[in-house]
Amino acid sequence: MSDSQTTRVMEQAAGNPFQNALAQLDAVADVMGLDDGIRAELRTCQHELTVNFPVQMDSGTRRMFKGYRCQHNNALGPYKGGIRYHPDVSLDEVKALAMWMTWKCSVVGLPYGGGKGGIIVNPKELSVTELESMTRRYASEISPIIGPWKDVPAPDVNTTGQIMAWIMDTYSREQGNLTPGVITGKPLSLFGSEGRFEATGRGILYVGQEACPYKGMPLDGATVAVQGFGNAGTVAACLLETAGARVVAASDTSGGIYNAKGIDAGALTRFKREGGRVAESGVGDAITNAELLTLPVDVLVPAAFEGQITEKNAGDVKARIILEAANGPISPEADEILNDAGAFIVPDILASSGGVIVSYFEWVQNINGMYWDEEEVNQRLHKIITKSFRRVTEVAEQRRLPMRKAAYVVAVQRVVDAIEARGIYP
């Protein structure tokens, strides 16, 4: 079985991502004693838009594409969340990711709700012209429901700054007004923010710098395995290495490599950015994505997709600290197994929040028309993410909860307070 097939089978085994998102919410709603009406509201996406549209292919033929934009909740502010291009995108996946964005923005105190979008496509099979046409048409299809004070998309799996630039341009032309704040993750040449590209990976570093000492383990010298050597994974690996950690394993869709002596994360990142695949890098022994998850390492960084650690492999995970850089990499059943085994999991909504935190800075800069240097961006990111980490550990200690539940208590409570303050209209 190929590695991507393995991933898909594991994903199915892990269940439907939206069902997992609901199970996580229900578990915390019980702990909080949430009112049934509010619980029902939070279990639902406020809007689920499906768009079907044609694109003119280079061959001259028309091809139909299906995309989504789901808006989970906007009690705290405009919906916020990325757009992903992947052949496995589904409505339930986008709904789950939208709900997770609500909690992610809430737990770190951003003035945003949660949304997510996606197109069912393998973008690597498209030419640049086809990619641009598909992106612009999708942007046009969702344009009635996005906007700086409505819903602010951003990059996610397989979407780039260039794609954000096309969406901003399409939206601005349709509105007849330049609107940089409609989307974040734009290139620096087009109203982007310093530090945005590295932000998710940098957030992982800052969270690791808190989590390791908290668990009495120095980050300096800790061994790290990174599943998913994409944007977040490469940056996290390089920064953790600079902080003294030893990156011993990495993987992408081609498979992975393991070298107990350590991998040069910077060199592997350059190899990857030049179009290389991790399995072909030759810097360690070949392993599968599944094997990477069960290596004897101190810190595991799942930075690929949801549903990677399930009840089937959770018992084999040896890492003491898990920093979730991907959204939803651990199923609810696996979560329990890992918690019982004493693993310290920094949940996705907190660990991977660096990206959306700096997206917020980008939006603030766009609205104000004033731009910050990288040092200022990184300092502000550090302040927000460490403060949020400490707040979640406090709640975890006070209420004797694992980190995920504690993070959800903080996140859900903030949304509930806003819903109650708003009341029901009319």
- Chain contacts with ligand GLU (rule: CB under 6 A): 80-82, 104, 154, 156, 184-185, 327, 352, 355-356, 359
Of 356 and 401, which has the nearer Cβ to ligand GLU?
Answer: 356
Taking CA atoms, 419 is separated from 23, 39, 43, 115, in Å, by 21, 11, 14, 17
- Residue 15 has a CB neighbour count (10 Å cut-off) of 16
Question: b/e string for 31-53 if b means 16 or more Cβ within 10 A?
Answer: ebebeeebbebbeebbeebebee
Question: By C-beta, is 106 or 313 nearer to ligand GLU?
Answer: 106
Query: In terms of CB distance, is 86 or 104 closer to ligand GLU?
Result: 104
Question: By C-beta, is 235 or 257 nearer to ligand GLU?
Answer: 235
Nearer to ligand GLU, 208 or 354 (CB): 354
Measured distance CA(200)–CA(220) in Å, rounded? 21
**Least spacing, CB of residue 152 vs ligand GLU, in Å:** 7
d(CA 308, CA 293): 8
Asked if 155 and 161 touch (Cβ cutoff 8 Å), the reply is yes
Cβ–Cβ under 8 Å, residues 113 and 76: yes
> Are the C-beta atoms of 166 and 139 separated by less than 8 Å?
yes
Q: How far is the CB of 185 from ligand GLU (least distance, A)?
A: 6
- Write down the least CB distance from residue 158 to ligand GLU, Å: 11
Nearer to ligand GLU, 158 or 254 (CB): 158
Comparing CB distances to ligand GLU, the nearer of 104 and 404 is: 104
Cα–Cα distance for residue pair 326/347, rounded to 1 Å: 9
Instruction: Give the span between the Cα atoms of 251 and 295, in whole angstroms.
Output: 12
Q: What span, in angstroms and rounded, lies between the C-alpha atoms of 169 and 182?
A: 10
Contacts of 194 by beta carbon, 8 Å cutoff, 6+ apart: 188, 371, 372, 373, 374, 377
- Residues sharing a CB contact under 8 Å with residue 111, sequence separation 6 or more, in sequence order: 76, 77, 360
Burial of 177 (0-12, 13-18, 19+ CB in 10 A): exposed
Residues paired with residue 69 on neighbouring β-strands, in sequence order: 49, 117
Place of tokens 């806003």: 418
Tell me the C-alpha distance between 192 and 185, whole Å: 6
- Which residue's CB comes closest to ligand GLU? 82
Q: Give the residue numbers annotated as catalytic, written as ranges.
A: 116
**Distance of closest approach, residue 242 Cβ to ligand GLU, in angstroms:** 23
The CB-of-257 to ligand GLU minimum distance in angstroms stands at: 26
Q: How far is the CB of 110 from ligand GLU (least distance, A)?
A: 9
To the nearest whole angstrom, how small is the minimum distance from the Cβ of residue 7 to ligand GLU? 18
